[in-house]
Amino acid sequence: MPDEKVSPAATKITAQEARPERPLRIALFGFGTVGSSVAKILVESKPDGLELAHIFNRDVARKRVDWVPASVNWTEDADAVLASDADVVVELAGGLDPAGDWVRRALEAGKSVVTANKKLIAYHGVELERLAAAQGGHLKYGAAVAGGIPVIPGLEQGLAGDRILRMEGILNGTCNFILSRMEEGAEYAAVLATAQAKGYAEADPTEDVGGFDARAKLAILMRLAMRVVVDPEEIVPKPITAVAAVDFSYARDLGCTIRQVARAEETGGVVAATVGPMLVDLRSPLAWSRGTENMVILTGHYGGDVVFSGHGAGGHPTAVAVVSDLLALAHGSRRVAIPSVPARVGAEFEVPHYIRFLVADRPGIVAEITGALARERINIRAIVQKPGYPASALPFVVTVEPCKSSALKRALASIGKMDCLLEQPLDLQMLE
C-alpha cells in the first residue's frame, strides 16, 4: 500500500493552489476602536493574502493616520467603495442602520462581508447569510460575540459535531467589570463612573446593564449552538441595577458571588433563555472571570463541558477575530453549514433561587412568605438574616430548592402585595 502521508513539498503546493491569484482587497467601513486596530494588524503583520485598499468613515480627514500606507484610499463615499473592486467589506461602524444597508449592498454586489456587529447579526443574520449564499459571497462575524474569544469559530468548526444542550455565558464585559468590582466592596454608581471613565461603559449604559447587549449575543450563540433561530426580543433581560452591596455579602455566605449570566437550554425540545444577574458558585469558572473578561461554557450531549474565556472586547482582541475571519476567507476555508429552525423562546428554568427582601420588620413576615411559597409547592432551602441592620429597613434572604420559574413568579406576585415590603423582592437564579 502506498504511503499516504503528505510530503512537505506536496503540502506547500496545495497551500499555494488554495491561495487566490491576488490578495483579497479589503474595504474597512468605520475607523473607530476596532476598525483602527484591524488596520494596524493588516499594516504591521501583513497577513498573507490580505491587502488593505479602502478606509471609509464620515469626516474622514480627522481619522487619517501616518502609519497607513499611501496606497490606501481614505474616503467618505460609501457608494464608491461598494462599487469598487474591493473583495471584502469589513463593517465596523456598528448599529442597524446604515450599517445594514452597506452590508446588504456589498453582498448583493457579490462581495464578502466580515463584521463585528452583534445587533445586525442577532436581528438580521439569517437573512444576510441567505443573501451571501445566493450571491456567492460569504458573511463572517466571529468577532460579534465575545470579541477576541473564538467562541463562534469554535462552534462552527470544533463543536459542530456535538449537540449543545445548554450554555451559560458572561457576554458583557461592562457588567462583569461592575459586578466583580462590587464583589470587592465598591458601590454600583461609583464603579459605573469608573467604567465610563475607562471607556468600558457608554454615557448611557442601558444596553449593557439592562442586559440588551448580552441577549443579542445569546441569540447569535443559540443559532449556532442549539440551532434555533430566535427573536432576541423574546429573551427577557433583567438589569444588574437591582443588585446591591448587601447581595454580595449574602451571596458570599452562601458560597457564591454574582455575575451577569446569559443562559439558554433545551429540554425535551423546549428552548428557554434568559439574561440577568445570577448567583454563581465560587468554585464555578464563571466566578473566576473578573474585570472585562468574558466566558462561555457550552455543554454538549456527547462532549460534555467546553469553556472559552479571555478578552471579550477591546480594539486589539476584537480585531484579531476580524482578521482571522479575513484569513479564513483568503485561504478558502469554509465554515460548516449549520442548519437552524425558527423557535419560540420560553423563560421556564427549574433551578434554585435566591430571594432578597427589604422589609420594615413586624411579626409574621416569614410565615406569610413561606405560606405563599408553600401554596406553589416551593421548598425553602434556607432563611438567612445578617445582624446589624435596623428593623426599619431589614434585608434578609430566602433561598429555595429548584422550582419552576413560573411557580416562583406566581408566589412572588402574591408576596409582592405585603405591606411591610420597602421594595419588590430581588429574585436571582442560582447556578449550581
Which residues carry out catalysis?
217
Closer by beta carbon to ligand NAP, 34 or else 272:
34
Which helix (H) or strand (E) element contains residue 19? Answer: none
Q: Which stretch binds ligand NAP (CB under 6 A): 33-41, 161-169, 253-261, 272-280?
A: 33-41
CB of 101 to ligand NAP, least distance (A): 10
Task: Please select the residue that binds ligand NAP; options are 125, 150, 277, 314, rule is CB under 6 A.
Answer: 314
> Which residue, chain included where needed, has cell 475571519?
325
Task: Please select the residue that binds ligand NAP; options are 81, 86, 87, 94, rule is CB under 6 A.
Answer: 94
**Burial zone of 359 (CB within 10 Å; 0-12 exposed, 13-18 middle, 19+ buried):** buried
Beta strands at 270-281 and 426-431: parallel, antiparallel or unpaired: parallel
Total number of residues that touch ligand NAP (CB under 6 A): 21
Integer CA distances (angstroms), 423 to 110, 332, 410, 419, 426, in order: 56, 57, 17, 10, 9
CB of 121 to ligand NAP, least distance (A): 9
**Is residue 58 at the binding interface for ligand NAP, with CB under 6 A as the rule?**
yes
Determine the Cα–Cα distance for residues 269 and 59; give it in Å rounded to an integer. 50
Integer CA distances (angstroms), 234 to 218, 237, 264, 268, in order: 12, 9, 12, 19
What distance lies between CA 79 and its chain's CA centroid? 31
Closer by beta carbon to ligand NAP, 251 or else 313:
313
Query: Residue 15 CB: number of other CB atoms within 10 A?
Result: 11
**Is residue 169 at the binding interface for ligand NAP, with CB under 6 A as the rule?**
no
Integer CA distances (angstroms), 360 to 77, 310, 398, 427, in order: 63, 44, 16, 19
Which residues, 241 to 260, sit near ligand NAP by CB under 6 A?
none
Task: Please select the residue that binds ligand NAP; options are 24, 54, 55, 57, rule is CB under 6 A.
Answer: 57
Task: Please select the residue that binds ligand NAP; options are 52, 55, 90, 92, rule is CB under 6 A.
Answer: 92
**Is residue 30 at the binding interface for ligand NAP, with CB under 6 A as the rule?**
yes
**Is residue 147 at the binding interface for ligand NAP, with CB under 6 A as the rule?**
yes
Q: Which residues contact ligand NAP (rule: CB under 6 A)? A: 30-35, 57-59, 92-94, 98, 116-118, 143, 147, 313-314, 318
